[in-house]
């Protein structure tokens, strides 16, 4: 009998030999594509990414409308998830912080900000967050958690900074099944890397993307990992035939 596979620790881009080098390679990749990142997201997803961000933000509206709420958008990139949260909060005085370890991405987020109502941007490592325990009511991450060098450490850090009964939402790609899945895999593995490389002028990130999704734990395993990290509840809701989905967790009271 074949030996059971060891659990995946985290992202493993080409050129990485350990956790530190994996983080460094991921940072370099995202820094290299920062100038075209938004354009590529919209083109390659046919603008469906906007729908996913809005849907995720609506899921947590009950927290966002609370004037005393504190929200962290982790691995925020150029800020689209944070902006979706801000729009859903409306006139609420909720405090939203976007954190990312790519300075180039945060600069793009700042350029897109409305000076009167904008999230706060902080350069930080998702595995070593500069926030006290039990600080936030909600932590989100859109298409960034999958790139962490250690998934379990990332979940534990999210749980650490959440208040008791606080919630988290991790929006990321999935792998659809059936006929839709077969068509999607052709697009995702053959077409998307070529188009992404052509528009960005950088090959690495868009060759890495399909491999990183394939490597990411399946929903059942992610739910188990979330509960092990301190979440009393964990679920997964597929979006658009399972092309993406929302992992939702609630910290133990």
pLDDT at 115: 62
Q: Is residue 91 pLDDT above 70, yes or no?
A: yes
Tokens (6 digits) for 181: 């899945």
Backbone angles phi, psi at 168, to 5 degrees: -135, 150
Strand pairing report for 95-100 and 120-123:
parallel
- Please give the pLDDT value at position 3: 45
- Name the nearest CA neighbour of 175 among 238, 242, 246: 242
The rounded Cα 92 to chain-centroid distance in angstroms is: 24
pLDDT digits (tens, 9 = 90+) for 129-164: 999 999 999 999 999 999 999 999 999 999 999 999
In the prediction, which pLDDT does 193 show? 84
Degrees, nearest 5: CA angle 134-138-141? 115
Cβ-proximal residues to 166 (8 Å cutoff; 6+ apart), any chain: 134, 136, 137, 138, 139, 250, 251
* Integer angstrom CA distances of residue 29 from 13, 18, 85, 121, 201: 10, 16, 26, 20, 12
Both tokens assigned to 229: 């990290």
Residue 88 pLDDT grade (very low, low, confident, very high; cuts 50, 70, 90): very high
Cα separation, 142 vs 128, in Å, equals: 18
Q: Give the start-to-end residue ranges of the domains of the chain.
A: 19-34+47-176+217-251
Average pLDDT, integer, range 200-212: 82
**pLDDT surpasses 80 at 22:** yes
SS3 state of residue 121: strand
Find the helix or strand (DSSP H, E) in which 210 lies: helix 204-215
Residue 123: strand pairing partners: 100
Q: Which residue has the higher pLDDT, 170 or 15?
A: 170
Phi, psi of 152 (to 5 degrees): -65, -40
Residue 84 has pLDDT above 50, yes or no: yes
**Domain at 19-34+47-176+217-251, CATH from 1.10.443.10, 3.40.50.150, 2.60.40.290, 1.20.140.10:** 3.40.50.150
Contacts of 28 (CB under 8 A, 6+ apart): none
Q: Strand 95-100: give its sheet, edge to edge.
A: 120-123, 95-100, 70-74, 136-142, 162-173, 244-251, 231-239
């Amino acid at each position: 009998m074949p030996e059971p596979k060891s659990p995946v620790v985290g992202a493993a881009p080409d050129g990485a030999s350990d956790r530190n080098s994996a983080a460094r390679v991921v940072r370099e990749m995202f820094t290299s594509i920062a100038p075209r990142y938004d354009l590529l997201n919209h083109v390659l997803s046919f603008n469906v990414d906007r729908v996913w961000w809005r849907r995720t933000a609506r899921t947590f509206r009950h927290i966002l409308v609370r004037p005393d709420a504190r929200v962290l958008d982790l691995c925020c990139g150029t800020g689209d998830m944070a902006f979706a949260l801000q729009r859903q909060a409306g006139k609420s005085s909720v405090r939203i912080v976007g954190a990312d370890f790519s300075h180039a991405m945060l600069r793009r987020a700042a350029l897109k900000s409305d000076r009167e109502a904008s999230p706060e941007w902080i350069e930080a490592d998702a595995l070593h967050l500069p926030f006290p325990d039990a600080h936030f009511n909600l932590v989100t991450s859109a298409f960034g958690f999958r790139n962490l060098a250690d998934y379990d450490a990332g979940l534990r850090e999210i749980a650490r900074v959440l208040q008791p009964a606080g919630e988290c939402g991790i929006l990321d790609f999935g792998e659809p099944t059936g006929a839709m899945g077969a068509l999607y895999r052709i697009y995702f593995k053959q077409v998307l890397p070529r188009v992404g490389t052509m528009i960005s002028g950088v090959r690495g990130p868009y060759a890495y993307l399909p491999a990183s999704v394939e490597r990411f734990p399946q929903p059942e395993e992610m739910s188990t990992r979330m509960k092990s990290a301190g979440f009393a509840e964990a679920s997964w809701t597929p979006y658009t035939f399972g092309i993406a989905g929302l992992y939702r967790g609630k910290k133990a009271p």
